[in-house]
Amino acid sequence: MNGGLMRSATTRRNALALGLGALTITLTRPARATPEIMEQAIKAFTGGKRVQEGRVTFDISLLVENGNSVPFSVLVESPMTKADHVTRIGIFNEKNPLPDVAIFTLTPRCGRASVASRMRLNDTQFITAIAELSDGSYWSAVSEVIVTLPACVED
Amino acid sequence: MARALINVPAKAKRGEIIEIKTLMAHPMETGFRTGVDGKLVPRDIITQFVCTYNGEVVFSAELFPAITANPFLAFTTIATESGALVFSWTDNHGQTQVQTAPIHVE
């Protein structure tokens, strides 16, 4: 009788331990970018060059209900001539599984350095938009977005 | 891939900056979600978008899983001459879909 109780207790303990193990696995499994990983992604984009603030207008909602679709647009002050134009615009995030959102490649034929799209957001976080100019300089704008219902939660 | 919605003004004045909007029907499966069987759903995303105007690339984009399902892209171009705008979407399996939109420049 006693032995049986002991046995069931150990199995319960085992079951608990197993459950805990499973819990840590599920907690650690969703891979996430961190601000450091975003810094690395930005470094890869800029080649380690200095990024200055300004010239970029990053338009995104400050508070979104649904992280599955967050519209955004980027406008960069540039004459978009052959000599002086925006060559690339990169969008980076801190807390999605991957730090990159999109990299747009522009040409003087665009006429205006303006792009718009929609992104997924896994959490409340800072989003960075960086423009690369034809003279080799980098300009950025940062926006914090508060997300009440993150993307990637529904199956 | 399937249906694409493309919004290009049918007529434009020479030198005018026109806005182009595109929307491609695509799940943009991130590769981070688990399905009902508990396994990860394989990644299926559009990674590359290119727009050419009479053969010359005017705009392109590299997309990551953080872009929403049915990726929407809006950008601008200068209306230089009548012709065709060709849009192509390529997914991570290497499949490409091409759509063409005519433009009349006065």
- Collapsing DSSP states into helix, strand and coil, what is residue A9? helix
Name residues whose C-beta falls within 8 Å of residue B1's C-beta, 6 or more positions apart in sequence: B24, B25, B26, B46, B89, B91, B95, B97
Which structure tokens are listed for B96? 């490409």
Q: Would you say A113 and A76 are in contact if contact means Cβ atoms under 8 Å apart?
A: yes
- CATH number, domain with residue B77: 2.60.40.10
* Confidence at residue B1, expressed as pLDDT on a 0 to 100 scale: 58
pLDDT digits (tens, 9 = 90+) for B33-75: 888 888 889 999 999 999 999 999 999 999 999 999 999 999 9
Scanning chain B, the segments in alpha helix (DSSP H) are none
Residue A154 to chain B, least CA–CA distance (Å):
8
Q: Do B68 and A69 touch (CB under 8 A)?
A: yes
pLDDT digits (tens, 9 = 90+) for A75-89: 999 999 999 999 999
- Please name the residues between 32 and 61 in chain B that touch chain A, using a CB distance below 8 Å: 32-36, 53, 56-61
* Confidence at residue B75, expressed as pLDDT on a 0 to 100 scale: 96
* Confidence at residue A27, expressed as pLDDT on a 0 to 100 scale: 45
Domain that holds residue B76: 4-105
Chain B residues with beta carbon closer than 8 angstroms to that of A117: 61, 67-68, 71-74
| A106 exposure class (CB count in 10 Å sphere: 0-12, 13-18, 19+) | buried
Number of domains into which chain B is organized: 1
Strand partners, B67: A119
Rounded Cα distance between B81 and B14, Å, is: 7
pLDDT digits (tens, 9 = 90+) for A98-147: 999 999 999 999 999 999 999 999 889 999 999 999 999 999 999 999 99
Q: Do B75 and A114 touch (CB under 8 A)?
A: yes
Share of chain A above pLDDT 90, in %: 63
State the complex-level ipTM. 0.93
Kindly report the average pLDDT of chain A as a whole number.
Answer: 83
Which domains are assigned to chain A? Answer: 32-147 (2.60.40.2470)
Q: Do B80 and A109 touch (CB under 8 A)?
A: yes
